[in-house]
Amino acid sequence: MNTIFIQFRDPLFGIILFFVIIFVVALFSYWWGRFKAKEDYRHLDKFLRKFRSPPSSLELKKLISSSAVSIDSWLLLANSYSKNGEYDKSIEIYHELLSKKENLTNKKEIMFLLGQTYFKAGFLQRSKSIFLEILKSNPRTPQALRYLLLVYEYLKEYDHALEVLEPLETLGYDTSKDRAYLYCLLTLGDFSLSPEQKADKLIVFYQENKDVTYLIFEYLFKYFPKLAWENLNFSQTSRLCDLFWNLDKDVIDFDIISTDKYLRELFSAKGYLSLEKDSSIFEYDVLIHLHKSSYAKAKINFEYMCGHCKHIFPFSFNRCSNCHTIDSIIPQPLLIKEQHETFDSFL
């Protein structure tokens, strides 16, 4: 029996046992670390899963009614949703805030934000109802009047929109451009007028006011180009450059073009004339020199900038959809490579 215990006193056995213990501890630590990492990941994933979707209506109602989060925080969250285009979540928060039983000191503000969000989301009738409700109890609210004006305009209820201008004028706001714009829209949408009568009314209106230039000349160049050339104000030619560029050659008045430097440059760049050897506008200058070298694989496209808020849009507009300014359009020429599409039949 003593011989067995003597063997355990061998130094070599002690060294082997020591390394075995180290190996077992290291192996246990490794697997324990992997197990903990996996558990931590599951816990984190379970935690984040709560935020992947907004709370339900019932959960939202409970959260708002519990007053655990301040109203200002809810308004900030709703505004964030609105800015990201998630209007349904924003609208739900505003509705729940307004449905609280206690009196809200900022009820008018929340109602305005709800109406504004409905407007952005395209629910114009609901937006109109909200703003009318605000004005029923607070008639001197210019922000609500402004949005109500836009709602009527988008619904093409121009007569009602003109009525909204009266209280705005009473509050001291300049509505001359809004009135001019609405009168033009009312004229263009009047089915009792012939196209010729519409053109005559627009020309008279333009000569008296010099407002809404782009809308008026867009209509005239499309249907009555001769009248457009006769009433053209040369100080506005750069603001109508895309209209000139897209004109058919047979409706162009070359005698009028020859009297204006900007138009000579534009139509020389287009290739219809060769009256200018260069241009102060880069895009026109490039095309003029390309025409000289018989290179015809470039053309000009346009994007449209609002002169007030500087937002850029890929399409023309008469009222900026960002800042709602009227007749602030500034076409921007873009030099692009012309592509000729070919359609190959598989038959």
* Domain assignments of the chain as residue spans, ordered by start: 56-152
Taking only the tens place, the pLDDT of each residue in 206-235 is 988 888 999 999 999 999 999 999 999 888
Q: Given pLDDT bands bounded at 50, 70 and 90, which one contains residue 100? A: confident
User: Rounded to a whole number, what is the largest CA-CA distance in the chain?
Assistant: 128
Q: What is the pLDDT of residues 282-295, one digit of tens each?
A: 999 999 988 888 77
* E-assigned strand segments in the chain: 298-306, 312-313, 329-337
What mean pLDDT comes out for the span 26-52? 68
Dist CA 245 CA 238 (whole Å): 11
> Rounded to the nearest 5°, which phi and psi values hold at 319?
-130, 125
The span from the CA of 145 to the CA of 131, in Å, is 7
Taking the complete model, does pTM exceed 0.85, yes or no?
no
pLDDT bin (cut points 50, 70, 90) of residue 51 is very low
Determine whether domain 56-152 maps to CATH 1.25.40.10: yes
In this prediction, residue 185 has a pLDDT band, given cuts at 50, 70 and 90, of: very high
**pLDDT, tens digit, for every residue of 64-93?**
777 667 788 888 888 888 888 889 889 988
